[in-house]
Amino acid sequence: MLYRFTGRKIDDPELLEAVRLTIINNMIQYHPESSSQLAMGATFGPEAPTEEVDVDIATHIDIYDDGPERSLLVVETADRPGLLVDLVKIISDISINVQSGEFDTEGLLAKAKFHVSYRGRTLTEALQQVLCNSLRYFLRRPTTEDASF
């Protein structure tokens, strides 16, 4: 299939996926030595890589005022299944409203941005600290596989 690029931002998910797969396939074909690095970022080919990648990704949590009525929460941490749902649950459990959010992954790194508020206002410094501590505690908690006990 031939695509014509006009210099505009690509917002069609199918086209974006076609571009991504073309890049990955060309990297594998012309630079096979890069396959281990590609395996850390995404699955490629018909099956996912079988080896487990042991990478320690640091967690970063930042909160900024974003106007008089909301704050911007930025979380960067290791990606895993169910992370977005867990983040929203933690935020909601301490009575902070999530107004909107954006979630993206880059390989094994998850990047989440949330516009949050407490009773229609920005988060106070004390509430920011409570939120950061809650998120850090939850994200550093060791995970236990069901089959391990």
| Fold classified for 60-142 | Alpha-Beta Plaits (3.30.70)
Give me the residue spans of the domains in the chain. Answer: 11-52, 60-142
d(Cα 68, Cα 82) in Å, to the nearest integer?
Answer: 31
Structure tokens given for 37: 């690095």
Confidence (pLDDT) at 6: 62
Rg value, the chain, Cα: 19
57-106 per-position pLDDT tens digit: 788 999 999 988 999 999 999 888 888 899 999 999 999 999 999 999 88
Are the CB atoms for 128 and 71 separated by under 8 Å? Answer: yes
Tokens, residue 126: 């004390």
Contact assessment for residue 73 and residue 116, using Cβ atoms and an 8 Å cutoff: yes
76 within 8 A of 133, measured Cβ to Cβ: no
Rounded to whole angstroms, the Cα distance separating 112 from 105 reads 9
Instruction: Tell me the pLDDT tens digit for each residue of 17-53.
Output: 777 778 777 777 777 776 666 655 544 455 544 555 4
Give the span between the Cα atoms of 84 and 43, in whole angstroms.
20
What pLDDT sits at residue 44? 46
